[in-house]
Structure 1
Amino acid sequence: MSNTNTTFIISLSSATKAKLEHAASLNERSESALIEEALTAYLDHEDEIVRSIKQALDDAAHGRVVDHNVAMTELERALRPSSGH
């Protein structure tokens, strides 16, 4: 992946622009740096969600699933307060 920057033109509401300016000022960072950080975090999060969904679909297609009743029993057992203390 290259470190070359690319310029994009985006449209923001005046309220969002004001929030961005305020955050940039508070953090002593450029608006561009904040946008890049936020967009990178969003894209990384979305990528993880898509990977998780694809893995779950593959698991289901190959029978790697747990019966609902078994899962609920295990969950209830895990959440039950222990009586040993």
Structure 2
Amino acid sequence: MTDEIHTTRDPDGTTHTTTIVDHEPRRGGGFGMMLILLVAIVVAAFVAFQFLGNERAETDAITDAAHKVGDAAQNVGDAASDALDGR
């Protein structure tokens, strides 16, 4: 910011002081902050959806494995029953 002070003297002895204030132009700080905030929200949403997708895949894998263990136990039970019945 630049300030200029000009003093002028009239022939009758009176003085006049003029101050010129030169303000720097405003920069687009609000737009930049909004853009940074928007990018942060998009990145956070992406990470959250990735995390939820991984949790869902993990839950599905555990459920599938539990079903397979249950089926295997059923097969063992059937084989033991067949062996006792003498078939």
Higher strand share: 2
Report the structure number with the largest CA radius of gyration: 2
- What range describes the TM-score normalised by the shorter chain of this pair? 0.3 to 0.5
Larger RCO (CA under 8 A, 6+ residues apart) = 2
